[in-house]
């Protein structure tokens, strides 16, 4: 096997491409790439990787992209790739990893996240969905909400209460739920944009095999924290080029439409650009720091910054455009896999950005995490403690 260096991995990719046609069968190509350890290179052999340093992932991805190889539709399976996979890798058994990781990475099986509930959003540990042991199965009853991709998902990471008598953080267990199982009902939630990215999910007598339990009974909160920390990095820490994302839309508008400029807005646009660039570099540094381990609470700061910047930038774009910025292009009810922030109108971006301070942990909760776990400030009084 080649050494775990950038040149060594490029040679591995070149050798792989000599025997696998990137223009042929998409699924077969991706399966073979996973089996060759060229999916997540930092994963152990047999789990899509080579045990190589994580920072070399971009070397492999770039080499495949240059060859015109198909990707695994990362936007369509963002929860699976960004949240479920790292959780499974750290906490699942070998048999569970063998069953789920390859079809997750190839995109054959989409994943969603059954965490939030109508009365347990910011205070997730107070959730009420129950899982009761019945032989080799658990019977699950409850309701989840704000579930992205539930309408497309094959599997879901599920947090449920298995011991109602235990303190709320200690009575939870982590499962993988089959979204095609009897008793699972998905209903769309229409948003201010007109679309329904999110769903509410009703679980009525859903049987989950004990073999689909991740970790020990009652240890679900510890495992869920792995998911949540990865979620915040996945939302706020995506790698972007300079002027990538919504700040690029604003900057291009400023350059191309001098008729819209004003002195007051110039200062605001400049400040937004500087903050966006600082946030991009901070996210890049964070990804480098966590490459060899698991995300820490610092991911909360990245996600908080992302939410505030998205709302500030989208608001500036609407203000800069004036009356034309108030036109909404389409109110058609759709159920997309992901928001189209760059392909739609300013109004769409403005409305969609309102949700950034709620999804993946509210900004209020993230500030508390930063204060207590990053800055070391005294904890807020809590009745559940």
- Mean pLDDT by runs of 10 across the 385 residues of the chain is 82 96 95 97 93 88 95 91 93 97 97 94 89 98 95 97 93 98 97 92 98 97 90 69 91 94 91 93 74 64 88 95 88 86 91 87 84 85 67
pLDDT of amino acid 289: 63
pLDDT of amino acid 1: 45
Question: Which candidate, 325, 327, 328, places its Cα nearest to that of 314?
Answer: 325
pLDDT of amino acid 383: 67
Distance from C-alpha of 51 to C-alpha of 69, rounded to nearest angstrom? 23
Considering the four listed CATH numbers 3.30.70.100, 3.30.70.270, 2.40.110.10, 2.60.40.1120, the one that applies to the domain covering 111-218 is 2.40.110.10
- Tell me the whole-structure pTM to 2 decimals: 0.88
What are the tokens at 251? Answer: 């900057």
pLDDT of amino acid 97: 97
DSSP string computed for 174-239: EEEEETTSTTEEEEEE--TTS---EEEEEEEEEEEEGGGEESSTT-HHHHHHHHHHHHHHHHH---
Q: Which of 109, 195, 197, 231 is catalytic?
A: 231
Distance from C-alpha of 176 to C-alpha of 224, rounded to nearest angstrom? 12
Structural element, H or E, at residue 18: helix 6-19
Sign of the C-alpha dihedral computed for residues 1, 81, 75 and 364 taken in this order: negative
Distance from C-alpha of 43 to C-alpha of 249, rounded to nearest angstrom? 36
Q: Tell me how far the alpha carbon of residue 209 is from its chain's centroid.
A: 26
| CATH 2.40.110.10 placement within the chain | 111-218
pLDDT of amino acid 372: 85
| CATH 1.20.140.10 placement within the chain | 237-375
pLDDT of amino acid 210: 98
- In degrees, rounded to 5, the angle at the alpha carbon of residue 314 between the alpha carbons of residues 313 and 319 is 95
Distance from C-alpha of 48 to C-alpha of 81, rounded to nearest angstrom? 12
Count the residues in the chain: 385
Sign of the C-alpha dihedral computed for residues 350, 265, 307 and 85 taken in this order: positive
Contact predicate 300/363, CB 8 Å: no
Distance from C-alpha of 233 to C-alpha of 215, rounded to nearest angstrom? 23
Query: Considering the domain 237-375, what is its CATH architecture?
Result: Up-down Bundle (1.20)
Is 108 annotated as catalytic?
no
Q: What is the rounded radius of gyration, in angstroms, for the C-alpha atoms of the chain?
A: 22
Distance from C-alpha of 101 to C-alpha of 16, rounded to nearest angstrom? 20
């Amino acid at each position: 096997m080649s050494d775990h260096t950038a040149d060594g991995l490029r040679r591995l990719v070149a050798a792989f491409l000599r025997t696998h046609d990137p223009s042929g069968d998409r699924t077969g190509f991706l399966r073979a790439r996973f089996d060759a350890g060229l999916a997540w290179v930092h994963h152990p052999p047999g789990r899509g990787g080579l045990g190589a340093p994580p920072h070399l992932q971009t070397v492999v991805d770039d080499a495949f992209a240059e060859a015109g190889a198909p990707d695994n539709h990362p936007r369509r399976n963002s929860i699976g790739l960004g949240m479920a996979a790292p959780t499974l890798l750290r906490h699942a058994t070998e048999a569970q990893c063998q069953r789920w990781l390859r079809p997750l990475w190839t995109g054959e099986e989409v994943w969603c996240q059954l965490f939030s509930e109508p009365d347990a959003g910011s205070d997730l540990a107070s959730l009420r969905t129950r899982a009761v042991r019945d032989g080799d199965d658990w019977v699950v009853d409850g309701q989840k909400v704000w579930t992205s991709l539930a309408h497309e998902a094959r599997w879901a990471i599920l947090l449920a209460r298995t011991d109602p008598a235990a303190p709320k953080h200690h009575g939870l267990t982590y499962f993988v739920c089959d979204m095609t199982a009897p008793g699972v009902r998905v209903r769309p939630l229409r948003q201010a944009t007109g679309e329904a990215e999110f769903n509410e999910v009703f679980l009525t007598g859903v049987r989950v095999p004990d073999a689909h339990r991740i970790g020990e009974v009652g240890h679900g909160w510890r495992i869920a924290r792995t998911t949540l920390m990865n979620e915040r990095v996945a939302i706020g820490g995506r790698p972007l080029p300079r002027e990538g994302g919504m700040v690029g839309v604003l900057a291009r508008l400023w350059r191309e439409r001098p008729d819209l400029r004003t002195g007051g807005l110039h200062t605001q646009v400049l400040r937004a650009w500087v903050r966006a660039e600082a946030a991009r570099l901070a996210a890049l540094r964070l990804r480098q720091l966590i490459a060899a381990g698991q995300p820490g609470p610092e991911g909360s700061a990245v996600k908080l910054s992302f939410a505030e910047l998205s709302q500030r930038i989208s608001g500036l774009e609407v203000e800069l455009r004036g009356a034309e910025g108030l036109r909404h292009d389409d109110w058609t009810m759709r159920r997309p896999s992901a928001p189209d922030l760059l392909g739609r109108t300013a109004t769409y971006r403005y409305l969609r950005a309102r949700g950034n301070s709620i999804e993946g942990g509210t900004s209020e909760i993230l500030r508390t995490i930063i204060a207590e776990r990053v800055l070391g400030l005294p904890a807020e009084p809590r009745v559940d403690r």
